[in-house]
Amino acid sequence: MPQQTTDWRPPGPRGLPVLGSTLDFQRDPFTFRTKVARTYGPVASFDVLTETFYLLTGPEHIERVLVHENEKFIKGDIFQTLLSPVVGQGLLTSEGEQWRKQRHRIQPAFRPDALTHYADIMVEETEEELATWNPGEVRNLHEDMLALTGEIVARSLFGVDVSDRTEVVAEALDVVMGYAESLSSSMVPNWVPTPGKRRFDEAMAILDAVVDDIIEERRADPGDDVISALLAAEDEDGRTMSDDQLRDEVMTLFLAGHETTALSLSFTLFVLAQHPDIEERLVTELDDTLDGATPTVADLGDLPYLERVVKESMRLYPPVHAIIREPTEDVVFDGYRVPAGSPISMPQWTVHRDPAHYDDPMAFRPDRWTDEFEAELPRYAYFPFGGGPRRCIGDRFAMMEARLVLARILQAYHLELVSDPSLDLAASITTRPTSPIEMRVHER
């Protein structure tokens, strides 16, 4: 039966006059969205200042937006406001024909044969990182993982070494993500010279300089890498990519390609440090399968518990906490109307922790990921990489990297958590820790 159009908006908290739910949302977006979903159902709404947000947490609704009717939904104004100043009109933000053209150009970099080559680089870079660790010292884990994954993506996709710039990149990235997290970044026009905007501009100048250096290095010495392929690619009219477009794509791949995997590794090692029985079982699998040998991509199929650990970590702590879309026309969900141009939030954080889909959802239980469980789980009750045509292009790259890096670290070291066992997180573009995750290194 076709859905009937209605003028009723979905239920949700009434909030305060003028402010709506702004204060509650800003205070803790993770808890707020989850409370709204649990209280009002899979189609809900709430107001932040003058904007009405529509919250979708039903897997069937999320699949409709991302897959079945994806042509009716675009990234939208809020997404563009947050990300365009960072990645321009790269693969994350572009729409329509431009997006399809760029996706086609970049896709070969993530073919299975290319991934096999990248696996060797991932392990080599992990070995170099571990060589700087000393038993007994305390490490800032997230900082280390950002440096490692930044070097991996630079060598794998771009064929360059950025090891001398990882610290400055991490500092700039902190500023950029902190600005994106603040409500003012989406509410105050870009031309207003706030202190936060000035810091953001300075950080972006640093990131732009790094990306420009990477591009110029490949332009001077082309190789078998993504940048060289993009420089040589021509469209149907024989035109090559503009310098601005090339910058946007490289910035997108560089930032998105290492930020989310660094978070996944940080969160996984964080929860393993608090679950010694799970860590012990995982190390036993690594010992039995690898017998001390360095892990390769060929070994991953023989390490099923490793994959379950990573999947469960990304369920409990998804590196991307929510996906935003806007409908290009009025749409109806469960009889509720969502007007064209309205922001729709689909939070992985809330859906991944829904007791309707996961028994004891707050528990870290890798064993839940059996074939039978996955066969019965609604498709979009778990979507750490999004879905549909705009599913993350580097999803297989990221999963391979997370498993190989995690395996090599755990072969060498046990990491003891010395910072706060509770995790304070910021709902920036990604799910970021607000303070260092500190670990003491113990030789295995």
Residue 324 has pLDDT above 60, yes or no: yes
Residue 67 DSSP code: I
Question: Could you give the percent of the chain with pLDDT greater than 90?
Answer: 76
How high is the pLDDT of residue 149? 96
Is 210 a member of any domain?
yes
Q: φ, ψ for residue 184 (rounded to 5)?
A: -65, -25
Say if 51 falls within a structural domain: yes
In a domain, 392, yes or no: yes
pLDDT for position 187: 54
pLDDT of 182 reads: 61
Q: Is the pLDDT of residue 186 over 70?
A: no
Phi, psi (deg, nearest 5) at residue 45: -150, 160
User: The CATH number of the domain where 437 resides is what?
Assistant: 1.10.630.10
- Whether 13 is covered by a domain: the verdict is no
**Cα-flanking dihedrals φ and ψ of residue 406, to 5°?**
-60, -45
405: nearest Cα among 240, 255, 227, 266: 266
Average pLDDT across the chain, whole number: 92
- Within a domain: 3: no
Quick check: 174 pLDDT over 90? no
pLDDT of 185 over the 70 cut: no
* Structural domain that includes position 213: 22-443
| Predicted local confidence at residue 2, as pLDDT | 43
Can you give the pLDDT at residue 240? 81
Mean pLDDT of 288-311: 97
What is residue 239's DSSP assignment?
A: P
**97-122 tens-digit pLDDT:** 989 988 988 998 898 888 999 999 99
Domain membership flag for residue 15? no
Rounded to 10 deg, the angle between the 76-87 and 166-181 helix axes is: 160
- Say how many domains are in the chain: 1
Instruction: Transcribe 374-415 into DSSP letters.
Output: HHHS-GGG--TT--GGGS-TTHHHHHHHHHHHHHHHHHHEEE
Question: CA-based angle 136:137:139, to the nearest 5?
Answer: 135
Q: What is the pLDDT of residue 283?
A: 98
Residue 341 has pLDDT above 50, yes or no: yes
**Residue 237 pLDDT grade (very low, low, confident, very high; cuts 50, 70, 90):** confident
309 Cβ partners below 8 Å, 6+ apart? Answer: 268, 272, 278, 282, 366, 406
Residue 8 lies in a domain: no
pLDDT at 85: 86
Least confident of 39-48, 71-80, 415-424: 71-80
pLDDT of 5 higher than 60: no
325, amino acid identity: R
Structure tokens at 273: 């440090």
Task: Answer yes or no: is pLDDT of 323 > 80.
Answer: yes
Is the confidence at residue 189, as pLDDT, over 70? no
How many whole angstroms separate alpha carbon 335 and alpha carbon 392? 31
The DSSP call for residue 320 is S
pLDDT beyond 70 at 160: yes
Taking the model in full, what pTM does it have?
A: 0.93
pLDDT of residue 190: 63
| Across 63-67, 170-174, 202-206, least confident range | 170-174
- Is residue 179 in a domain? yes
Per-residue pLDDT at 1: 38
Looking at residue 279, its pLDDT comes to: 98
Per-residue pLDDT for 339 more than 60?
A: yes
Pairing status of strand 344-346 against strand 73-74: unpaired
